[in-house]
Chains A and B, each alone.
Chain A
Amino acid sequence: MTTVETYATLDDAARAMGSDAAYLAGGTLLMRAVNEGNAPDRLVRLNNPNPKEFRSSGDKLILGAGLTMAGVLSLRELDFLHPVARVIGGPQIRNMATVVGNLFAEHPYGDFATALLALGAQVVPVGQGSPRPVEDIFRDRSRVGLISSVEFHRPRDPRAFGFLKVSRVKPKGVSVLSIAALLPREGGRIRGARIAFGAMGATPLRSAGAERALEGQSLDATSIDRAAAAAIEGLDPPTDQIASAWYRREVAGVHLKRLLTGMERI
């Protein structure tokens, strides 16, 4: 039997958490589990979450736990992330689903989390804990406490960030895969390449092969071809209703090449 506990602040909610509890944010994943009888015994929620919870400090962007996909789309400061938020679910889901909740979305969901991984985002735990890289969450989602915000630095040139979601159904479809790329350039050379794949594993994953092929290079046909060839190095994509592991392996490099070629032109 599910019980619901409602709190005024995230601090109060954090104190109420435990192994038998789940935090109810947008509800798009957790309420589905409730409906199917698979939810934890206790749901912990806030009385009044703010769907547009956002602040910035210099070039640091801080997305609060209540911020929804529609909230992202309403903020001009996050315009470079609009192409990501726009392909999460349909309009109703975007009005409900939160950015922080997406970090906990299981395969094949988590396209926004893929973008956060490429951006090198950090999560800020509720309370005294120091910020931790999003990779920490993906390592073991069950051991993460409540998160108050996710933060990252705005790319100096927003065109250094690119995102592509591949789905069979448009405009609303589940990912065959998604790709996020952060390619900051200094004097025409890529410094600090980060390439992340979504739906290519149990969580969003970085492509070490593609990053190595791009680091220190200019973004051109040669480096793009090398990145595409190395894209799936070390990745073991799953088979599901959307695509087989074989198919995902075959097309990952092709789509990475398309994304990078589009980023080359600008």
Chain B
Amino acid sequence: MARTPVTFNLNGSPKAAFANPGQNLLDFLRRDVGDLTPKFGCGQGTCGACTVTINGQTQLACLVLAEAVNGQDVRTAGGLGQGATLDPLQESFMDHFAAQCGYCTPGMLVSARALLDQNPRPTRDEVIEAISGNLCRCTGYEPIITAILAVAEGRERA
């Protein structure tokens, strides 16, 4: 079985690993690169638990061919904090009880970060739209929306 070398940037650091034919990016990141923050939820592009950004745009890692990220810039929830310093969104999710089981949280955070990077002062409707591709079955969406708006409105300590 011919494996394909893939060289790319993950959360700002160069990475190289071999991808299997037809392997998706989610499986590749988790199994071959060692980033466990994108989650496997459905494997069919419905739930958003595997959301990552590729060149700044949110995509679903389970539907991306791993070898297609060769030379690209990939970011996951694993790159949000710097050491012990969390991203303000992570702080806000804790303060607003926006995570319960936590399975959707990395995908939610990546979608929220992408939104705030492009639009630092989104409206409530824009927040709802931005996380519409991410399913949460525990807390409901209200605490998550509140947590994201708190960062956007500068109410959360940065």
Contact = CB atoms under 8 A, between A and B. Distances in A.
Interface string B55-97: 0011110111101100000000000000000000000000000
Contacts of A34: 22, 24
Interface residues of B, number: 29
A91 B111 contact: yes
Interface string A7-51: 000000000000000001001100110111001000101000000
Contacts of A95: 57-59
A90 interface: yes
Q: Which of A1, A3, A35 has the most CB of B within 10 A?
A: A35
Contacts of B44: 32, 35-36
B64 A31 contact: yes
Nearest to B64: A27
Contacts of B64: 27, 31, 96
Contact of A92 (B22, B60, B128): B60
A34 B19 CA distance: 15
B112 to A, nearest CB: 11
Contacts, number: 83
A92 B48 contact: yes
Contacts of A91: 58, 111, 114, 129-130, 132-133
A90 to B, nearest CB: 2
B122 interface: no
A161 to B, nearest CB: 23
A1 B45 contact: no
A27 B65 contact: yes
B105 interface: no
A45 B111 CA distance: 27
Contacts of A93: 45, 60, 133
Interface in A93-108: 93, 95-96
A90 B65 contact: no
A7 B118 CA distance: 32
A209 interface: no
A141 to B, nearest CB: 20
B22 to A, nearest CB: 3
A171 B45 contact: no
Nearest to B54: A95
A2 interface: yes
A92 B130 CA distance: 9
B37 interface: no
Q: How large is the interface on A (under 10, 10 to 19, 20 to 34, 35 or more residues)?
A: 20 to 34
Nearest to A43: B22
A27 B45 CA distance: 10
A89 B63 CA distance: 13
B140 interface: no
A144 interface: no
A96 B63 contact: yes
Nearest to B19: A4
A70 interface: yes
A13 B63 CA distance: 21
A35 B62 contact: yes
A66 B29 CA distance: 25
Contacts of B67: 4, 6
A16 B90 CA distance: 47
B46 to A, nearest CB: 9
B68 A96 contact: no
Interface in B117-158: 128-130, 132-134
Interface in A138-155: none
6 contacts: A31-B62, A43-B22, A45-B65, A45-B68, A70-B57, A91-B130
